[in-house]
């Protein structure tokens, strides 16, 4: 083999190694394959505050509270796979936004499209307003699926701008659940609230009718702790979104092995094919390198002194 051909083969081999290595990193696949997964045995009811105060800019520094809510609720879908999710929202009124479902995409879509009340749209907020609706939803769930464990995750800032009805209490709900959590957002120092639907930080802010300046929403952590006590669950002040491991552990959920098709579809993985090809090319490169080294040593030995 002449030197030019040998050089071209060497370059081609090394280029092939690079290309195959890139394919391994891309983890190629084809088609779809249903895979089994671990499924939770819980009905998880999320109770979400959608009053305008959830737009206040004091989550993680200066982001809207609702951004932290969305991030945490999306994480729940991953942390509690196979759970049946339901959503109750409350503001001027309480309503079941999403009936219990195992369709994670429907749950995530409801979380993503969660909208807040517009300024002055409500008639005053009360952190305990959804108590009766939550109890009714859980009672119906218990009748239909008595074998499942029920969990409530309450999400809000605890701020009341109207006097709560004395009959609004979460105490009866405690007998309908096995666990849950109260997740609090916002700070006691408070922050302004963007007035636009898209929470434009450069736009107008909600106005305080008394002072004429920007209104400030302040989280009431004592209210949230009181709700947690009524539900007999833990309270977590979510000033950022570092993770929900401790929260999910408090649910006491158990997991069963799902059937094929219960988990999300995955592609048939071809990484191993390219891995074998890469191994062959690397071994060939090593062999060529060793041969070149031995030839060089033989040539040095044959040189006259």
89 forms beta bridges with: 48, 95
**What CATH fold (topology level) applies to the domain 38-257?**
Rossmann fold (3.40.50)
E strands, 124-193, are 149-156, 179-184, 191-192
Q: What is the pLDDT of residue 301?
A: 64
Q: Where are the domains of the chain?
A: 3-31+280-302, 38-257
Q: 50-73: per-residue pLDDT in tens?
A: 999 999 999 988 999 999 999 999
Q: Which of 98, 170, 183, 181 is nearest to 129 (CA)?
A: 170
Amino acid 156: pLDDT: 97
Per-residue pLDDT 10s for the chain (305 aa) are: 667 777 787 788 888 888 888 888 887 776 555 544 556 688 999 999 999 999 999 998 899 999 999 999 999 998 888 899 999 999 989 999 999 999 999 999 999 999 999 987 767 789 999 999 999 999 999 999 998 999 999 999 999 988 878 789 999 999 999 999 999 999 999 999 999 999 998 899 999 988 889 999 999 999 999 999 999 999 999 987 678 988 998 886 655 554 444 445 555 677 878 888 888 888 888 888 777 777 776 666 665 55
Q: In this structure, how many other beta carbons lie within 10 angstroms of the beta carbon of residue 210? A: 7
For residues 143 and 100, what is the distance between their CA atoms, to the nearest angstrom?
A: 13
3-state secondary structure 194-263: ECCCCCCCCCCECECCCCCCECEECCCHHHHHHHHHHHCCEEEECCCCCCCHHHHHCCCCCEEECCCCCC
pLDDT at 11: 83
Residue 287: phi, psi to the nearest 5? Answer: -60, -45
- Rounded (to 5) percent helix, strand, coil in the chain: 40, 20, 40
Model pLDDT, residue 256? 53
**pLDDT, position 261:** 46
- Whole-number pLDDT of residue 288: 80
For residue range 158-195, what is the model confidence (pLDDT) as tens digits? 999 888 787 899 999 999 999 999 999 999 999 999 99
CA atoms of 253 and 86, how far apart (whole Å): 16
- DSSP annotation of 59: B
The answer to whether residues 300 and 50 touch, using CB atoms and an 8 Å cutoff, is no
Among residues 249, 78, 242, the alpha carbon closest in space to that of 151 is found at 249
**pLDDT computed for residue 260 by the predictor:** 43
User: 130 with 138: CB under 8 angstroms?
Assistant: no
Burial classification of residue 89, based on how many CB atoms lie within 10 Å of its CB (0-12 exposed, 13-18 middle, 19 or more buried): buried
Instruction: Please check whether residue 40 is in contact with residue 263, taking contact to mean a CB–CB distance below 8 angstroms.
Output: no
Q: What is residue 118's DSSP assignment?
A: P
Instruction: Give the C-alpha separation, 119 to 196, whole Å.
Output: 9
């Amino acid at each position: 083999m002449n030197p030019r051909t040998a050089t071209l083969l060497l370059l081609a081999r090394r280029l092939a190694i690079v290309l195959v290595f890139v394919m391994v990193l891309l983890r190629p696949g084809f088609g779809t394959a249903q895979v089994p997964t671990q499924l939770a045995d819980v009905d998880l009811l999320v109770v979400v505050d959608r009053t305008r105060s959830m737009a206040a800019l004091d989550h993680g520094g200066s982001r809207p509270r609702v951004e932290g809510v969305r991030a945490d609720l999306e994480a729940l879908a991953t942390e509690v796979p196979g759970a049946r999710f339901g959503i109750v929202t409350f503001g001027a009124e309480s309503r079941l936004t999403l009936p219990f479902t195992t369709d994670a995409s429907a749950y995530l879509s409801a979380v993503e499209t969660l909208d807040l009340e517009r300024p002055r749209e409500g008639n005053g907020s009360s952190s305990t307003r959804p108590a009766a609706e939550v109890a009714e939803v859980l009672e119906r769930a218990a009748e239909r699926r008595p074998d499942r464990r029920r969990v409530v995750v309450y999400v809000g800032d605890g701020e009341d701008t109207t006097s709560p009805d004395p009959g609004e209490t979460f105490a009866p709900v405690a007998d309908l659940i096995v666990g849950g959590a109260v997740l609090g957002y916002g700070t006691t120092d408070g922050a302004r609230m963007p007035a636009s639907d898209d929470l434009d930080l450069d736009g107008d802010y909600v106005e305080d009718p008394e002072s004429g300046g920007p209104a400030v929403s302040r989280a009431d952590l004592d209210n949230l702790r009181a709700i947690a006590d009524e539900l007999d669950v833990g309270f977590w002040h979510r000033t950022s979104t570092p993770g929900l491991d401790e929260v999910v552990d408090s649910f006491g959920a158990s997991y069963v092995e799902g059937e094929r098709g219960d988990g999300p579809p995955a592609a048939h993985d071809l990484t191993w094919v390219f891995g074998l090809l890469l191994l062959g090319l690397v071994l060939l490169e090593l062999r060529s390198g060793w041969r070149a080294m031995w030839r060089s040593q033989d040539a040095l030995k044959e040189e006259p002194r």
